[in-house]
């Protein structure tokens, strides 16, 4: 087992700060229900010496074990930081305790970063995730006529069987 996998297993074995937070001061959501990876983060602030700092952060995710591990670690890393300090952290910083992530897992850290940034930016959390835009028609779409065009006639020519 790789060192990264061992760290992920340790982090998801007992995830920290998992679950919704009642009376959160900020909520951020990132991801898409269409691809399956979604993460929501709740943040509660406190006043410390006249400045606003993050008192607690929690999360929920529909994502892989790497997303769970990064979110669990990130909620611990941002505690005690000002919103500006937390906003300065990118996905790489939020996942640093795990070590370098392989290219196919970098999106997990970006998912956590996105939810954190939305929560701290003051943007309202979406009531429901908007579907991801469709980039290309499906095979079935290519057979269906569109509203603006009539079906084009198809001419089939059968050649006689060669004997």
Closest CA to 57 of 35, 78, 31: 78
State the DSSP H helix or E strand holding residue 84, giving kind and residue range, or none if neither: helix 83-87
State the DSSP H helix or E strand holding residue 60, giving kind and residue range, or none if neither: strand 51-62
User: Is 64 tagged catalytic?
Assistant: no
Closest CA to 38 of 128, 103, 150: 128
User: Is 35 tagged catalytic?
Assistant: yes
Tell me the three state secondary structure of residue 143. helix
Of 10, 34, 35, 123, which residue is the catalytic one?
35
Q: What angle do CA 101, 87, 27 make, to 5 degrees?
A: 95
Phi/psi for 66 (5° steps) reads -65, -40
Of 108, 112, 116, 119, which residue is the catalytic one?
108
Catalytic residues: 35, 108
């Amino acid at each position: 087992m790789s060192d990264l996998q061992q760290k992920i297993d340790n982090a998801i074995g007992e995830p920290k700060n998992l679950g919704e937070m009642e009376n959160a001061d900020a909520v951020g959501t990132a991801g898409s229900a269409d691809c399956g990876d979604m993460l929501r983060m709740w943040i509660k602030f406190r006043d410390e010496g006249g400045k606003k700092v993050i008192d607690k952060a929690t999360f929920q995710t529909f994502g892989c074990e790497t997303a769970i591990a990064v979110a669990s670690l990130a909620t611990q890393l941002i505690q005690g930081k000002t919103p500006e300090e937390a906003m300065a952290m990118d996905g790489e910083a939020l996942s640093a305790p795990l070590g370098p992530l392989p290219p196919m897992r970098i999106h997990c850290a970006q998912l956590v970063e996105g939810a954190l940034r939305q929560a701290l930016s003051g943007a309202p959390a979406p009531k429901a995730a908007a579907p991801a835009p469709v980039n290309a028609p499906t095979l079935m779409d290519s057979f269906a006529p569109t509203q603006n065009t009539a079906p084009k006639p198809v001419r089939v020519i059968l050649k006689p069987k060669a004997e």
